[in-house]
Amino acid sequence: MIKKRKAARRPQAGVRELRDRLKMAEETLRAIRAGEVDAIVVARARGEHVITLAGAELAYRILFDQMNEGAVTLTRDGTIAYCNRRFADIVRTPLGRVIGTPLRQFVPPAEQPAFDALVAAGHRENRRADTTFRADGGGLVPVSVSIAPLQLEGSRDVIGVIGVVTDISERERAEELRNRLIQQAVTAQEEERRRIARELHDEAGQSLTALLVGLRTIEESRTVTEAAELAQRLRGIAAQTLDEVGRLSRGLHPSILEEVGLPAAVTRHAQEFGQLHAVAVDVRIERLETEQLPPALQATVYRILQEALTNVAKHASARSVSVRLVRHEATVELRVQDDGAGFDPAAGAEAAPGDRHLGLQAMRERAALLGGSVNVESRPGAGTTITVHFPMRQA
């Protein structure tokens, strides 16, 4: 009877052992899928063999997780055996749901044939291509994918591929902004040329015509006294024309910046503006006397000041203007404030018609090229304040 009881207990013990092994195997599979297993020990005829999983060593795992690019390891059939956290962030999917999933699942159907060809070629040699991934929720993410064969050390057999995925959304946005700025810069150049051509025709051209008419009149003068009077008048016209040509020349290239520096150039231009348009001008410049700004920044500040004061002359009907140029620790600030007619900035182009709207746009374009920003504060009947900030590092 004792032998029969022992025989009955052995099958029960075997079932419990199988259940324990099955539970352990399920837990191991779960840990592998979650990326919690560092290595697997495989029993072979010639002894145990350790297979280290991708990212097993802590230092490498930290390195991969801190990368700004996504990293994936694919089996031969394209299944993700490992990925870092950055890749999970790119596809906006929890890390545990990414591992064990075919990589092509994150590729839109229309681009899957080209992507499959890229991965197939990546089993033989390094390949790179730009494509689009479909993130969790349906959003599309433009990416650059680099594929390379995965081989164990000392073996020529390719067991999968390694992929590096870079989110190029920011790069595409930067490229789009660059193209837009180039178009705007070309437009601003054409507007500047039209303005200079108009001023040459209206001012210098008319003065030269007056000189020609005056010289012809001198030829027809009856007395020396009459000719001398005409010559004196023509000399005044010639001097005025010379001043106008000099002003246009400074508008084309502000050589005054090289001669006297930005603070003196800003002060002189503001004073000349006040005298020309009978406007009271107050200029304050702080913390710019000792250290010179980069040439590109000086030229941009001067151009924006010119544009702002031109808008005041054309549209504001102001009695006084305040110009403030200050260098802070990390920025340079230009502020031009007038007590003129003002307008409604929220109404957009309708509130800033014609040249004023183009002038504000030109200021924003110039500032953006150096990483700066333009803020406009105005109300109808309450004047306008234009504040421009430039980051020193960007400049």
292 and 220 in one domain?
no
Residue 322 pLDDT level (bands cut at 50, 70, 90): very high
pLDDT tens-digit readout, 184-199: 777 777 777 777 777 7
Query: Is residue 350 scored above 50 in pLDDT?
Result: no
Number of C-beta neighbours around residue 230 at 10 A: 17
Structure tokens at 242: 């010379």
Q: Does residue 43 lie within any of the structural domains?
A: no
Going by C-alpha positions, the residue among 115, 102, 100 that lies closest to residue 145 is 115
Domain around 382: 254-395
Q: What is the overall mean pLDDT for the chain?
A: 79
Same domain, 263 and 301: yes
Domain termination site, one of 167, 189, 224: 167
Highest-confidence range of 32-36, 72-76, 190-194, by mean pLDDT? 72-76
Per the CB < 8 A criterion, the answer to whether 79 and 104 are in contact is no
CA distance linking residue 302 with residue 59, whole number of Å = 53
- Residues 123 and 161: their CA atoms lie apart, in Å, by 6
Query: CB–CB of 333/389 below 8 Å?
Result: yes
pTM, 2 dp: 0.46
Question: What is the CATH classification number for the domain harbouring 393?
Answer: 3.30.565.10
Asked if residue 58 belongs to a domain, the reply is yes
* Residue 37 located in a structural domain: no
pLDDT band at 377 (very low <50, low <70, confident <90, very high): very high
Strands 320-327 and 280-286: parallel
Phi and psi, residue 149, nearest 5°: -65, 145
pLDDT tens digits, one per residue of 326-338 = 998 889 999 999 9
Helix (H, G, I), strand (E, B) or coil at 323: strand
DSSP bridge partners of 178: none
Given this model, what pLDDT does residue 133 score? Answer: 92
- Verify that 186 and 268 share a domain, yes or no: no
> In the structure, what pLDDT confidence band is assigned to residue 344 with cuts at 50, 70 and 90?
confident
| β-bridge mates for residue 42, sequence order | 49
Got the DSSP string for 122-159? HTTS-EEEEEEEE-TTS-EEEEEEEEEEEE-TT---EE
Element at 112 (helix H, strand E): helix 112-122
| Cα 359-364-370 angle, rounded to 5 deg | 135
Total count of domains within the chain: 3
